[in-house]
Amino acid sequence: MKNPPSILEMNAFDMKQAAALEPAVRDLVERRQRLFGTGSPLFYDAPIHFVRAQGVWMYAADGTPYLDVYNNVPSVGHCHPYVVEAVSRQLALLNTHTRYLFDGIYSYAERLLATFPPEISNVVFTCTGSESSDLALRIARNFTGGEGVVVTENAYHGNTSAVSEISPAYGPDVPLGRHVRTVAAPDAYRRPAEDPGARFAEDVHGAIQNLKRHGVRFSALIVDTILSSDGVFADPPGFLAQAAAVAREAGGLFIADEVQPGFGRTGDAMWGFARHGLVPDLVVMGKPMGNGIPVAAVAARPEVLRDFARSGYFNTFGGSPVAAAAGLAVLEVLEREQLVANARRVGAYLRTGLRQLTAEFGRVGDVRGAGLFTGMEFSEENPARHPAPGLARFVVNELRRRNILIGTAGRDGNVLKIRPPLCFSNENADLLVGNLRDVLRAAP
């Protein structure tokens, strides 16, 4: 039986098809492979050469605009002028590391921590979400004295050596660590009769006991709070709380990975964990913090960080003046343009439109999500609801031909992952839904 696709294989360009590309694109593809080797995948059956972007639009070299419903890195919109100006201004003044004193990073830290529950009052800055996940694991091991980690069965938490060991989404070619156990994501689509929270907590308990039987002391449960790589599972609100309690009862920590659902994307609050009535022990942040500038962080309960901090932690570019300027500008845009409320309003509008497609097309199995993070699952028309990854890949590439950028998620790559910039509008949603309807009508 063929293994499910890894996170890098989903919707990847097949280099064997390079000869069929138009000459200018083919030259870039071949140049890329010559310089980067074969381990740097591209998107889509026909890769796109982009030259600029603005808001929810990316523009190809020939001037064609593409609606971006996939990229959460430019959280407040591609090349937002306020963020661009803030970064440019700071870059012209000072950019150095945090072993000197400067106001900007403290102003940013104060604004950022004010978005968290009061129990989370310390922050450590890094450059990437992978670094943040790596650091969170180190902190957890230091605090608990254990190393065992529980993750969901198709989780992706980053790409360092330590973090790839807790990221089953990489597939069998990147083995999990012996200290790692996986649990199924709460899937109300395929298991509607279950209590998602109780089942998830039971599975986490079983995973912790399995670690114990193998002589591995438990350290942490780490969960992307919208389970994006598992296929986007947001509901019911609160289902994570029981599992977090189980983790703490076993002497471990609950780590909320907010790299994808954080910064208002779920529409309910600034952080995905808030939907579950939780206060994590550690929070991992990344991509959307700087709207394209590498900014990331770990926020922590001070008691969890205290002993680890005695040994010191330093990252040359983590929390630099430019990074702080970008992060602060993003927070100001989120507030000024009311983008969290926009995510809630437009996300609900979008899912209403997408759910109309479930009645029209039997292989549109489920639409789920929160705010501007939506999963649309394709499955075969039978009682077992077998995944339909071939249909998902067809839809992704047909939308690309219609100038709409989208990607997939889920263990089988059969879930459309819809996470546009937070300035997405109802009109943008209508454009997506209308094109999806036309693509599905033409699907084999």
Work out how many domains the chain is built from and give that number. 2
Is 10 a domain residue? no
| Contact (Cβ atoms closer than 8 angstroms) between residue 267 and residue 371 | yes
237 and 344 together in one domain:
no
One domain, residues 257 and 397? no
Whether 9 is covered by a domain: the verdict is no
Whole-structure pTM value:
0.94
> What are the φ and ψ backbone dihedral angles of 63, each rounded to 5 degrees?
90, -5
Instruction: Please state, as a whole number, how many other Cβ atoms lie within 10 Å of the Cβ of residue 233.
Output: 25
Closest CA to 29 of 8, 46, 11: 46
| 8 part of a folded domain | no
pLDDT at 291: 97
Q: Cβ of 22: how many Cβ atoms within 10 Å?
A: 10
Same domain, 324 and 308: yes
Asked whether residue 426 is assigned to any structural domain, the reply reads: yes
Of 336, 367, 393, the last residue of a domain is 336
193 and 149 housed in the same domain: yes
Please report, for the domain that includes residue 425, its CATH number: 3.90.1150.10
Examine the fold and report which residue of 278, 305, 336 is the final residue of a domain before the chain moves on.
Answer: 336
In terms of domains, do 313 and 209 share one?
yes
Distance CA 262, CA 340 (A): 10
Same domain, 67 and 107: no
177 shares its domain with 315: yes
Domain boundary among 336, 366, 382: 336
Instruction: Clarify whether residues 353 and 373 are in a common domain.
Output: yes
pLDDT, residue 250, reads 98
In a domain, 52, yes or no: yes
In this structure, is residue 177 part of a structural domain? yes
- Which domain range does residue 145 map to? 81-336
State the pLDDT at residue 2: 63
Q: Are residues 55 and 142 in the same domain?
A: no
One domain for residues 306 and 414: no
Strands 253-257 and 282-285: parallel
CA-CA distances (angstroms) from residue 391 to 379, 387, 388, 398? Answer: 8, 9, 6, 10
Instruction: Report yes or no on 6 lying in a domain.
Output: no
**SS3 letters across the chain:** CCCCCCCCCCCECCHHHHHHCCHHHHHHHHHHHHHHCCCCCCECCCCCCEEEEEECEEEECCCCEEEECCCCCCCCCECCHHHHHHHHHHHCCCCCCCCCCCHHHHHHHHHHHCCCCCCCCEEEEECCHHHHHHHHHHHHHHHHCCCEEEEECCCCCCCCHHHHCCCHHHCCCCCCCCCEEEECCCCCCCCCCCCHHHHHHHHHHHHHHHHHHCCCCEEEEEEECCCCCCCCCCCCCCCCHHHHHHHHHCCCEEEEECCCCCCCCCCCCCCHHHHHCCCCCEEEECHHHHECECCEEEEECHHHHHHHHCCCCCCCCCCCHHHHHHHHHHHHHHHHCCHHHHHHHHHHHHHHHHHHHHHHCCCEEEEEEECCEEEEEEECCCCCCCECHHHHHHHHHHHHHCCEECEEECCCCCEEEECCCCCCCHHHHHHHHHHHHHHHHCCC
CATH code: domain of residue 309: 3.40.640.10
Please indicate, yes or no, whether residues 108 and 36 belong to a single structural domain of this protein.
Answer: no
Q: What is the pLDDT of residue 312?
A: 75
CB atoms within 10 A of CB 172: 10
> Is residue 427 included in any domain, yes or no?
yes
Could you tell me if 260 and 315 lie in one domain?
A: yes
Per-residue pLDDT of the chain (444 residues; tens, 9 = 90+): 567 777 777 777 777 777 788 888 888 888 888 888 877 788 888 889 999 999 999 999 999 999 999 999 999 999 999 999 999 999 999 999 988 899 999 999 999 999 999 999 999 999 999 999 999 999 999 999 999 999 999 999 999 999 999 999 999 889 999 999 999 999 988 888 789 999 999 999 999 999 999 999 999 999 999 999 999 999 999 999 999 999 999 999 999 999 999 999 999 999 999 999 999 999 999 989 999 999 999 999 999 999 997 777 888 899 999 999 999 999 999 999 999 999 999 999 999 999 999 999 999 999 999 999 999 999 998 677 899 999 999 999 999 999 999 999 999 999 999 999 999 999 999 999 999 999 999 999
pLDDT value of residue 409: 94
